[in-house]
Homo-oligomer: A and B are copies of this chain.
Amino acid sequence: MIEFINLTKTYPNGLTALSNINLKIEKGEFVFIVGASGAGKSTLIKLILREIVPTSGTILVKGKNLAKMKRREIPLLRRNIGVVFQDFRLLNERTVYENVAFAMEVVEASRKEIRRQVPMVLSLVGLSSKAKMLPSQLSGGEQQRVALARAIVNNPSILIADEPTGNLDPDTAWEIIGLLNEINCRGTTVIMATHARDIVNSLRKRVVTFDRGVIVNDRQRGEYPDEA
């Protein structure tokens, strides 16, 4: 599904965020990406979305080499990937409903589908009552859940979540993780960057650990590493 081969990313200012990464994620996997602040987790995700291009090496997503991808193919790539961004990236001038519906408009879904799907997803993340609010009228955790609703509304084949529980209380966080797990069971590949030790340790999924730009650990049924 997703494969990194000898991948290195050095930012224009000379900082090497990822160096010589080799990683293969199969269809239907649930992978935790963990590591200290600044280890390169978000950089990895930005590469998959082709928000940035690698300095050297190859990324394949669904068999396509992103480095060689044409500009007009990028939207098609992104429509296959649902993303919960670390900073949410909601449209400030649109309501919660419109934010989620927008992701469906982009793929030219029919009005009927939108009317059916959006309320369903909103109730899934527990935000039915906030549908008509603007992002600025929501709490941090609520915004995070809108971002999640938007990410899953199109039933993407890959779901990427960058710190999707960072602003959530443990109860809500567990609900969200349950949701991700369910989506994963339906066949979606889930990649989640997180710092939530409890969650990683109790789910016993594959854990890939980054440290200052390199993979230091990659195991199935892993645990949150104890570097302390």
Chain A contacts to B: CB under 8 angstroms: 11, 13, 34-39, 41-42, 86-87, 133, 137-142, 144-145, 162-163, 166-174, 195, 197-198, 224, 227-228
For this chain, the copies found in one complex come to 2
Q: Which B residues touch A11, using CB under 8 A?
A: 137
Are A174 and B228 touching (Cβ within 8 A)? yes
In the complex the two chains form, what is the Cα distance from A11 to B138 in whole Å? 11
Q: Which B residues touch A169, using CB under 8 A?
A: 34-37, 39, 195
Candidates B36, B87, B162, B170; contact of A171 at CB < 8 Å: B36
Q: Which B residues touch A38, using CB under 8 A?
A: 138-139, 141-142
Are B174 and A140 touching (Cβ within 8 A)? no
Besides the known contacts A36-B141, A86-B167, A170-B197, 6 further A-B residue pairs in the complex with CB atoms under 8 A apart: A34-B169, A35-B169, A140-B163, A140-B166, A166-B166, A174-B228
Q: Contacts A166-B166, A167-B86, A167-B163 known; A36 to B172 CB distance under 8 Å?
A: yes
Q: Contacts A42-B140, A139-B42 known; A37 to B227 CB distance under 8 Å?
A: no
Q: List 7 A-B contacts (CB under 8 A).
A: A37-B144, A37-B169, A38-B139, A42-B140, A87-B140, A168-B195, A174-B228
Q: Which B residues touch A139, using CB under 8 A?
A: 37-38, 41-42
Q: Which B residues touch A133, using CB under 8 A?
A: 13
In the complex the two chains form, what is the Cα distance from A24 to B228 in whole Å? 36
Q: Which B residues touch A163, using CB under 8 A?
A: 140, 166-167
Quote the shortest CB–CB distance from A187 to chain B (angstroms): 29
Are B228 and A37 touching (Cβ within 8 A)? no
Q: Which B residues touch A138, using CB under 8 A?
A: 38
Are B195 and A37 touching (Cβ within 8 A)? no
Q: Contacts A133-B13, A137-B13, A140-B86 known; A37 to B167 CB distance under 8 Å?
A: yes
Candidates B13, B167, B224; contact of A195 at CB < 8 Å: B167
Q: Which B residues touch A140, using CB under 8 A?
A: 37, 42, 86-87, 162-163, 166
